[in-house]
């Protein structure tokens, strides 16, 4: 029992050290703050937006295509303008962001789970199982994600759940490959041998001993993949095979604005794109910094 | 080398066969083409005639057998919508896509390597930080949105470049090329730039990391000690070292450029095979989708094969380890 406080203390200092290394880059801290802010406003969207963009009774077609900062008929102002339905763009963007972040995080979480399981099983058992699973990973990774997802969605049809399925099926392989690499190294360590000698059940050795020690590299991959997932979802929705028109994500908002752009009504496509860009850049900056902090080769 | 080539060809053939099966089952087993392809106002007899004509009444394995036999003879079915052989449709659209991907590739190397080298030489300078941070923006920018913004700037605001289409083309070797006319080039530059930015960022990062590592190597110190000009050290010694990872990535990325051209072509109304794919998906024109996939898979397999061979020629270490194996 007396070991426990010591152990937590050690973990805290390790975390603290990691945070200090991370915070050395002011840009990364700023990016982390931005990510937190975006998640915050996305979660709070129903309470902080001026209008519920899905509620048709709140929309007035007479307010359509207003430029940013113009006033509606009943005196409210639209900071980012309105779209062809008279929908407040700011509200639509926050709701879109909510959906985009949800899809990105959910797809990454599921893919992480699936990929980790495959990768760690492959590393632990080795031999033919490993060879077969890794051939599958190679095959999957030799085709661009956009193409595989596009074809899958062409077959499955539109829908938030289907987009998540498509994203998971293009992303699991990254995790499988990453964790396999890390687990192959860890697998030869003494503590695994010790755990095996104790005749612990195989499942316990894999998931309680091998997995936690092979996991850290996945954190970086997962961060970057959330950004990838968000960008991919936006692209698929833009192409018209992603989320349905009733639940517009950022990509679909941009697609909607595309048609009006050539007539000079830039804001419908511009602002959702800025939101998308800020989210992706912020997540990538955090991931980039995490990679530097966790890479032992660049450690001074 | 011969054994390596043969083994590699065998692998490629296996991948082709596996993909053909996956593609076919995926496309033909899911979705209901009958509702889409046949006029809803057609009566029962017309419906059945259409089903028989399109071969949709056969069992799945038989459809596959027909598919394999015709694929082997270069006939991948007729487009339901256009009524011409699907493969002809794809091939007629292919030069536009290849032209776009090739120009984008040249642009991304032309931008990426010099910027990456410059950033890697003085990693702590302001210029270097700007380049590296810029590269993060470069591959964070959603491709399609970048395209829209370029259209907004160059076509809507400044009105100096066209917003879409292929422009005037000139025929060479029986194929139409945009790159040979001024008007065509003007149409080509925006989509190619859109497609190139992501890869250019990737090349910047590779070249940056490679330069930083190479500058610490003994051979660079030796070259410096020998009194070589810095431009020669960078342009010959360092460049050679960073080219190896760049060539691999570029090779693999050529494939993904062809895939990503789907998005760029849709934004810029560029009449390549990617736009054809999207149109075919909207209309559930399955023979065209299947033909596109088979052609693209074949392209990818060929590119991967070539990259492997070039890699072996470029890097003596790979050659040696092959010999031991």
The torsion angle over the Cα atoms of residues B155, B145, A68 and A57, rounded to 10 degrees, is: 130
pLDDT at A1: 44
Q: What is the pLDDT along chain B (325 residues), one digit of tens a residue?
A: 677 778 878 877 887 777 777 766 666 665 555 655 555 566 777 777 767 766 667 777 777 777 677 667 766 667 777 777 888 888 888 888 988 998 998 899 899 999 988 888 888 888 888 898 888 888 788 888 888 889 888 888 787 888 777 777 777 776 777 777 778 788 889 999 999 998 899 899 888 988 888 888 888 888 888 888 888 888 888 888 788 778 777 777 787 888 888 999 999 988 889 899 988 888 877 778 878 888 888 888 888 788 777 777 766 666 555 554 4
**Contact at CB, B259 and A240, closer than 8 angstroms:** no
Contact between A147 and B296 using a beta-carbon 8 Å cutoff: yes
Left if phi > 0, otherwise alpha if psi is -120 to 50, otherwise beta: which for A157?
left
Residues A151-179 pLDDT 10s: 888 877 788 999 999 999 999 998 998 88
Q: What is the number of residues in chain A?
A: 300
Q: Can you tell me the ipTM of this complex? A: 0.79
DSSP A42-78: HHTHHHHSSS-TT-GGG--GGGTTPPTTEE-TTS-EE
- Contacts (Cβ under 8 Å, ≥6 apart) of A86: A59, A60, A61, A62, A63, A64, A66
Asked whether residue A105 is assigned to any structural domain, the reply reads yes
Find chain B residues with C-beta within 8 A of A291's C-beta.
Answer: none
CB A215 within 8 Å of CB A206: no
Residue B6, pLDDT score:
83
Q: How far apart are CA A280 and CA B190, in angstroms?
A: 23
The pairing of strands B175-177 and A77-78 is unpaired
Mean pLDDT of A121-150: 85
- Please give the C-alpha separations between residue A226 and each of A181, A199, A211, B52, in angstroms, as whole numbers: 21, 38, 21, 47
Q: Rounded distance, CA A234 to CA B145, Å?
A: 9
3-state SS class at B164: coil
The answer to whether residue A54 is domain-embedded is: no
What contacts B2, CB < 8 A, 6 or more positions away?
Answer: none
Q: Among partner residues A266, A273, A285, which is closest to B145 by beta-carbon distance?
A: A273
- Most A-contacting residue of B18, B30, B148 (CB-CB within 10 A), to test interface: B148
For chain A, the C-alpha Rg in angstroms (whole number) is: 23
Q: Is the pLDDT of residue A16 over 90?
A: no
Separation of alpha carbons A141 and B255, rounded Å: 12
Residue A36 falls within a domain, yes or no?
Answer: no
Backbone torsions φ then ψ of B179, nearest 5 degrees: -70, -15
CA angle B171, B175, B178 (to 5 degrees): 60
Q: Which of A151, A156, A258 sits opposite B293 (nearest CB)?
A: A151
Task: Give the whole-angstrom CA distance, residue A204 versus residue A206.
Answer: 5
Q: From its phi and psi, is residue B175 left (phi > 0), alpha (psi between -120 and 50) or beta?
A: beta
Alpha helices (H) in B40-167, listed in sequence order = 44-54, 60-72, 86-121, 126-140, 143-150
Position A15 in a domain: no
**Cβ–Cβ < 8 Å for B54, B86:** no
CA distance B144 to A21: 35
Residues B84, B5: Cα–Cα separation, whole Å: 37
Residue A232 lies in a domain: yes
What is d(CA B145, CA A255) in angstroms, rounded to the nearest whole number? Answer: 9
**HSE (side-chain half, CA atoms, 13 Å) at B38:** 19
Nearest to B140 among A143, A227, A261 (CB): A227
pLDDT value at residue B319: 59
Residue B303 · residue B255 · CB < 8 Å: yes
Q: Which residues of chain B does A273 touch, with a Cβ-Cβ cutoff of 8 Å?
A: 142, 145, 148-149
* % of chain A beyond a pLDDT of 90: 22
SS3 B82: coil
Please give the pLDDT value at position A100.
Answer: 93
Per-residue model confidence as pLDDT tens digits over B291-325: 888 888 888 888 878 877 777 776 666 655 555 44
Nearest-angstrom CA–CA distance, A167 and A231: 11
Distances (CA, A) of A27 to A208, A285, B133, B239: 36, 8, 10, 30
| Closest residue on chain A to B133 (Cα) | A285
User: Residues B78-93: pLDDT tens digits?
Assistant: 777 777 788 888 888 8
pLDDT bin (cut points 50, 70, 90) of residue A280 is: very high
Among B75, B29, B21, B79, residue whose Cα is nearest residue B54: B79
Structural domain includes residue A32:
no
- The C-alpha of B171 sits at a distance from chain A's nearest C-alpha, in angstroms, of 30
Q: Give the model's pLDDT for residue B37.
A: 55
**Residue A233: is its pLDDT beyond 90?**
yes
Question: To which residue do tokens 């990737």 refer?
Answer: B202
Residue A147 is part of a domain; what is its CATH number?
A: 1.10.3720.10
Task: Give the span between the Cα atoms of A299 and B241, in whole angstroms.
Answer: 24
Q: What total number of domains does chain A contain?
A: 1
Closest residue to B142, CB basis, from A152, A241, A276:
A276
Structure tokens at B312: 């072996």
- Residue span of the structural domain in which A254 resides: 80-298
Give residue B1's pLDDT.
Answer: 67
Residue A73 domain-assigned?
A: no
Contact B176, B169 (CB under 8 A): yes
Pairwise CA distance, residues A31 & A223, whole Å: 13
- The 10 Å Cβ neighbour count of residue A65 is 16
| Cα separation, B10 vs B36, whole angstroms | 39
Measured between beta carbons, the chain A residues lying within 8 angstroms of B148 are 254, 258, 261, 269, 273
- Structural domain contains residue A50: no
**A-B interface: how many C-beta pairs under 8 angstroms?**
102
Please tell me the distance in Å from A81's CA to the nearest CA on chain B: 17
Residue A7's pLDDT is what?
53
């Amino acid at each position: 029992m007396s070991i426990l406080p010591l152990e937590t203390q050690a973990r805290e200092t390790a975390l603290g050290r990691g945070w200090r290394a991370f915070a050395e880059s002011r840009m990364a801290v700023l990016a982390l703050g931005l990510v937190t802010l975006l998640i915050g406003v996305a979660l709070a969207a129903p309470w902080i937006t001026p209008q519920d963009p899905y509620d048709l009774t709140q929309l007035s077609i007479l307010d359509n295509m207003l430029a940013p900062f113009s006033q509606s008929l009943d005196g409210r102002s639209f900071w980012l303008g309105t779209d062809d339905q008279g929908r407040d763009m700011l509200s639509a963007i926050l709701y879109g962001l909510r959906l985009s972040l949800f899809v990105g995080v959910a797809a990454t979480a599921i893919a992480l789970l699936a990929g980790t399981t495959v990768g760690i099983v492959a590393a632990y058992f080795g031999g033919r199982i490993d060879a077969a699973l890794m051939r599958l990973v190679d095959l999957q990774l030799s085709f661009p994600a956009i193409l595989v997802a596009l074809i899958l969605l062409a077959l499955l049809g539109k829908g938030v759940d289907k987009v998540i399925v498509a994203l998971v099926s293009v992303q699991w392989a990254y995790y499988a490959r990453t964790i396999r690499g890390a687990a192959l190294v860890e697998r030869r360590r003494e503590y695994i041998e010790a755990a095996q000698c104790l005749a612990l059940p195989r499942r316990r050795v894999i998931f309680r001993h091998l997995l936690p020690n092979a996991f850290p590299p996945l954190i970086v991959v997962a961060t970057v993949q959330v950004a990838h997932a968000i960008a991919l979802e936006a692209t698929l929705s833009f192409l018209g095979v992603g989320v349905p028109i009733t639940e517009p994500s950022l990509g679909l908002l941009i697609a909607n604005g595309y048609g009006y752009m050539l007539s000079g009504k830039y804001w419908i496509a511009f602002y959702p794109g800025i939101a998308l860009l800020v989210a992706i850049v912020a997540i990538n900056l955090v991931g980039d910094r995490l990679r530097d902090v966790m890479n032992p080769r660049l450690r001074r | 080398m011969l054994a390596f080539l043969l083994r590699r060809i065998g692998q490629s053939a296996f991948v082709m066969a596996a993909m053909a099966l996956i593609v076919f089952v995926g496309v033909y087993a899911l979705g209901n083409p009958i509702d889409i392809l046949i006029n809803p106002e057609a009566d029962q007899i017309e419906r059945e005639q259409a089903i028989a004509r399109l071969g949709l009444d056969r069992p799945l394995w038989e459809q596959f057998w027909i598919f394999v036999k015709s694929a082997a003879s270069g006939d991948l079915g007729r487009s339901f919508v256009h009524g011409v052989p699907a493969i002809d449709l794809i091939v007629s659209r292919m030069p536009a896509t290849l032209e776009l991907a090739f120009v984008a590739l040249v642009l991304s190397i032309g931008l990426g390597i010099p910027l990456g080298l410059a950033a890697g030489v003085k990693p702590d300078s302001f210029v270097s930080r700007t380049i590296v941070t810029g590269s993060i923006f470069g591959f964070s920018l959603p491709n399609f949105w970048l395209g829209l913004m370029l259209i907004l700037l160059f076509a809507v605001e400044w009105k100096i470049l066209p917003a879409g289409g292929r422009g005037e083309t000139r025929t060479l070797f029986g194929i139409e090329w945009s790159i040979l006319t001024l008007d065509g080039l003007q149409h080509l530059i925006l989509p190619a730039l859109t497609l190139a930015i992501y890869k250019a960022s990737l090349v910047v990062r590779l070249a940056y990391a490679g330069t930083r590592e190479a500058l610490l190597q003994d051979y660079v110190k030796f070259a410096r000690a020998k009194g070589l000009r810095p431009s020669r050290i960078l342009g010959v010694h360092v460049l050679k070292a960073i080219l190896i990872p760049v060539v691999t990535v570029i090779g693999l990325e050529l494939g993904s450029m062809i895939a990503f051209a789907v998005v760029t072509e849709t934004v810029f109304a560029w009449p390549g095979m990617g736009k054809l794919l999207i149109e075919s998906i909207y209309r559930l024109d399955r023979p065209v989708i299947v033909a596109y996939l088979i052609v693209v898979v074949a392209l990818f397999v060929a590119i991967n094969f070539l990259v492997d061979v070039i890699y072996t020629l470029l890097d003596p270490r790979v050659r040696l380890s092959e010999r031991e194996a």
